Structure 1
């Protein structure tokens, strides 16, 4: 069966987000078609996951949490993935699907997904995701060059712009062909996207546990092809407001809690929900939101949107089913402080933010 959606990455996030959306859309006739999933890491320990993703019976995604005050606890079967491949052992199959079938490329390759490995080249199977993508794009160009939409889901601001710039830079170095570069510019759409869903745990060999809240915002581009229609997918003209809300309310709140957790040397396996069960911690966070964060959004005419998003955020933080460990959030802490807190301070000049300034300064 033809798979017009080609997905690079096998993460539990993609299973409970893109794969689930497409599965639900397919059931209503609202999707381009099914998905081929590609494992890019070559990790042999994930071989069972690769096989399970394409099981004809589907894989489970458990949705657990609060939705409009109601407790949600249901299991869904995701049946959108009909083929799963590995670039390490099935490169020729990956290339054929990319050239002949794909209309939309989805990727979620982790925090270092756009890093090009030292000495990487187009010969054989490239090591890094950007070089793999470049080689596949060159193959598609040489075999008719049908238009293509690329929807990166990595947690980077303006991820489509960043991936496009990287691919164009690599193409000039490794594929010196003006026709190819022109084709990349006119026929390959790299869209900025924002993804938002807390996926708290994997299921084995495939599947995940996730919260009810889910959002996939895609910034419109001329010629863009959508993978499906779904209530959680929004096509917008400007991604910036959505990025700001997520980065400087949900993500900022996580980093504030992680900073408190680190400085207080709290229990190693403490979760966000458990931490907020402490009244002083909850009051500290709400006060910071009310007195520092909301005024910052008000400066940009986004006060009501921020208040509404904050209400959703607190409900998500206190999800009774969600075990979101502070030790996981605290990874790369200084880098997260820069993106989530220091950047917010720069975005809101003139707003008094003593607590956020203290965290940004490392105090």
Structure 2
């Protein structure tokens, strides 16, 4: 079989500079741009820049930027599978080896958008950076150099769409660039240009991208009839929430072709929705499900008792504490359930259970406290999930900071609940319920205890 290659030179106009060549951006943003090109005649080419010295750029260039994306999951209860060759990437650049080629992109007047996904640690400011040491700079440091070259070329600024999973990713990236501009002595005119000619958005991205399918890649290549070293796989569900001026939605009309891209004045409620419902459902469910002898999220969804426990927690206890319109919250929760039921993804409970104490504090506890405040009573499933967490940490399956594991395994319930360092507050008011749930788990077993909670 021949390798996946272009039959003729790519004619797309290079409008995007993308820091990050990994599975996520190729299975999320590049898929959207490819659809925009094919369904709305957008004519947007993507230049992909490798953020680390080692990466996929050689393989991307070997295939002329082409790769196969395989989407699979449930949609309205039906299995859906979609395969497409994504061809919006025009070329890849390793800036550590081809620094001049990287900076030449700054002189392209058509370049308009900068996308990044350099991991949560990527948007970082470090003092005393040397602008002449390209390899030693952080990603925002290199971006500052690039933007200075753009400024020197007297060209317009950019619309920046960072996808790193940190709060206010656009604001943080802008703050880093401005600090580096000052550190590097680039002057007030450049700083003014950064602030007035560039638009940094805060974004929330949501799609499970499972990457290269090692177990089935050779079979897929036989089916496709070509070799592809960078096949990417992802779920069907996708959501991109962008905090920014809605005029840019006309410039990037993703929603016009049916993509789940939402421009908003504030991304915070959507982040809260994702953390409380999707992440919260995971955290409240997985430890009880593991104690009940299950191994994966799909198994938990197929187990009637665990499913009802999770569903009650989400619909009756979490959703009432959130601010967005109820129909939007219910739709999102139903989408989450379908994602958990995806037969193509094997998501192990113990993987999600990693560092469950800190996860419970961020993902579940805010719902518990708001529910109590609003209803003057405890949310039974969410509080029971804390009892299941304590029971889980008394086993050898827990995986957390060694100090946390030792404390949780040996401390009394009173000491655990009053540990403000873990919870951010004193939870002693839950003592009677937690002791009762733990006694029920120990005497009757996790299933009988969970059934009492679900069925009253």
Tell me if both proteins adopt one fold, taking TM over 0.5 as the criterion. yes
More strand by share: 1
Q: CA deviation at 1:131?
A: 1.0
SS in 2 for 1:111: coil
Shift of 1:130: 1.3
1 or 2 for the larger relative contact order (CA 8 Å, sep ≥6)?
1
1:166 to 159, 176, 198: 176
1:15 lines up with 2:42 in the alignment:
no
- The equivalent of 1:340 in structure 2 is 363
Is 1:177 paired with 2:204? no
Matched, 1:287 2:312: yes
| Structure 2 Cα separation of the partners of residues 256 and 330 of structure 1 | 10
In the alignment, what sits opposite 2:117?
Answer: 108
Q: State the 1:145 CA deviation.
A: 3.8
Residue 5 of structure 1 contacts residue 32 of structure 1 at CA under 8 Å; is this kept in 2? no
Correspondence for 2:39 among 2, 25, 28: 28
Q: TM-score, normalised by structure 2?
A: 0.70
Post-superposition shift, 1:29? 3.7
Greater percentage in helix: 2
CA contact (8 A) 2:283 2:356 kept: yes
After superposition, the Cα gap between the structure-2 partners of 1:333 and 1:90, relative to the gap in structure 1 and judged at 3 Å, is farther
> Any conservation in 2 of the 1:32–1:227 contact (CA below 8 Å)?
no
Contact 2:18 2:49 in 1 (8 A): yes
Deviation at 1:102, TM superposition (A): 2.0
Bigger radius of gyration among the two:
2
Counting only pairs closer than 5 Å after superposition, residues 214-363 of structure 1 correspond to structure 2 as 214-221=238-245, 224=248, 226-227=251-252, 229=254, 230-232=257-259, 233-260=261-288, 264=291, 270-297=295-322, 300=323, 302-331=325-354, 333-344=356-367, 350-351=373-374, 352-353=378-379, 356=382, 358=386, 361=423
Q: Tell me how far apart the structure 2 counterparts of residues 117 and 8 of structure 1 sit (CA, whole Å).
A: 19
Bigger mean CA deviation after superposition, 201-210 or 14-23: 201-210
Match of 1:207 in 2: 231
CA contact (8 A) 1:121 1:131 kept: no
Relative distance call for 1:334 and 1:181 in structure 2 (3 A) is farther
**Residues 57-76 of structure 1: pairs in structure 2 closer than 5 A:** 58-76=66-84
Instruction: Answer yes or no: is the 8 Å Cα contact 1:31–1:228 preserved in 2.
Output: no
Q: Bigger shift: 317-326 or 237-246?
A: 237-246
Deviations 1:87-138 (A, max 9, x none): 2212211111134242000011112111345753211314321111111111
CA-CA distance at 1:222 after TM superposition: 7.6
Q: 1:171 to 1:258 in 2, by over 3 A?
A: farther
Q: What is the total number of aligned residue pairs between the two structures?
A: 355
Q: Give the conservation status (yes or no) of the 8 Å contact 1:5–1:227.
A: no
Which ranges of structure 1 fall in alignment gaps of 5 or more residues? none
- Provide the C-alpha distance between the structure 1 equivalents of 2:171 and 2:372, rounded to a whole number of angstroms: 26
**Which residue among 106, 131, 141 is the counterpart of 2:151?**
141
1:282: Cα distance to partner?
Answer: 1.9
The answer to which of 160-169 and 349-358 deviates more is: 349-358
Provide the secondary structure at the position in 1 that maps to 2:30: helix
Cα offset for 1:348?
Answer: 6.2
Residue number in structure 2 paired with 1:196: 206
- The normalised TM-score by structure 1 is 0.86
Secondary structure in structure 2 of the residue aligned to 1:201: coil
Counterpart check, 1:153 vs 2:168: no
What secondary structure, in the 3-state scheme, does the structure 1 residue paired with 2:328 have? helix
